[in-house]
Amino acid sequence: MIWFLEFRERDVGGPVVPGQVAFPTGISDPSATRDALSVQQHITFLIHGFNVNRASGRAALHAFAAELSRTPPLLPPGAALVAVTWPGDSWAGPLGYPLEGNDADDTAAALADFIETWIPPGARFDFITHSMGARVAFETLKRLPRGAYVIGEVCAMAPAVDDVSVSEPPAYRAQVKDASRVAVLASRADTVLRLAYPIGDLAQAFLFFWKDVSGLALGYHGPRPGRFAPVPPNVVSVQIPTADGVGHSDYLFTGAPNNKQSRAVRFAGDALAGAASPRY
């Protein structure tokens, strides 16, 4: 069963609002209610990234979840799938990127609040993220009380966070160490992360210097050690060969997946299953 958990008020852009279980026409299950979600003991959150409107977010996460659930399923038995849509887009399109870090952080705060309100302690959480969805996931873990929930696998595909963020204590090192494992899928053929991310990150650092720093993307070349700390041993990084030409849009999909997208689904399934070396 797939739940749709929304933190957006408008179809395009708009503010972050408290999480509500939604029932998109044609793709929702009427039994996927908030009360039914609150009794789940193993939940996998799927979180899209930047510049995705409401309709596209719903469709892409539903398609990815459906592929994970096919026979034979790639999803661990008993895991509930929750598609998280959030306003990481704007009428300005890609030009709005420098401001979307705040929306990602606000979504994380709202998601953590939803979890603490409706999901009893002791439940296990896994995450599958794309692009800036990784920031939403890691910031959510920062806000949850440590030890209250079991943090399982975090699968970050093309993560649009700094490459040292999994190592640096001020960033996400503590949250990474609390997880069973963090699996990163990176591609040097991703021109969005190679060219646009450093520029947008620099703008964020200028606008929000108290909490953002400029750096290279984790989803471009994988994790780097921090200034005073190595990459935690529970981080596994898979670098897609540059010759494969995998760009930023080659992970999520809304129709039938192509070969690159099917391999992204396989990677996520292997990561959730705890495979030592997730396959792409």
Q: Read off the pLDDT of each residue in 4-24 and give the average, rounded to a whole number.
A: 97
Name which residue leads in pLDDT, 191 or 23. Answer: 23
Say whether pLDDT at 276 is over 80. yes
Q: The domain 2-272 is classified under which CATH number: 3.40.50, 1.10.510, 1.10.540, 1.10.3470?
A: 3.40.50
Reported confidence tier of residue 99, pLDDT bands at 50, 70, 90: low
What is the structure's pLDDT at 205?
A: 45
Over range 86-114, report the average pLDDT.
Answer: 79
Q: What is the per-residue DSSP string for 171-238?
A: TTHHHHHHSSEEEEEEETT-HIIIIIHHHHHHHHHHHTTTT-----BHHHH-----SS-PPPTTEEEE
* pLDDT of the residue at 102: 87
Q: Is 96 a residue whose pLDDT tops 50?
A: no
| DSSP element (H, E) containing 178 | helix 173-178
Which pLDDT score, from 0 to 100, does residue 215 have? Answer: 62
pLDDT at 8 over 80: yes
Examine the pLDDT at 81 and tell me if it is beyond 80: yes
The arithmetic mean of pLDDT across residues 79-85, rounded, is 95
Half-sphere exposure (Cβ direction) of 203: Cα atoms closer than 13 Å: 13
CB 251 within 8 A of CB 157: yes
Tokens of 164: 């040292």
Q: Is the dihedral of CA 270, 125, 217, 259 positive or negative?
A: positive
- Give tens-digit pLDDT for 234-243: 999 999 999 9
Distance (Å, rounded) from C-alpha 181 to C-alpha 252? Answer: 22
- What are the domain boundaries of the chain? 2-272
Name the least confident of 31-45, 55-69, 206-220.
206-220
Confidence (pLDDT) at 206:
39
pLDDT tier at 101 (50, 70, 90 boundaries)?
A: confident
Query: 128: helix, coil or strand?
Result: strand
Q: Which helix (H) or strand (E) holds 80?
A: strand 80-85
| Dist CA 53 CA 261 (whole Å) | 20
**Could you tell me the two tokens for 238?**
């898979």
Q: Name the token pair of 201.
A: 């990150």
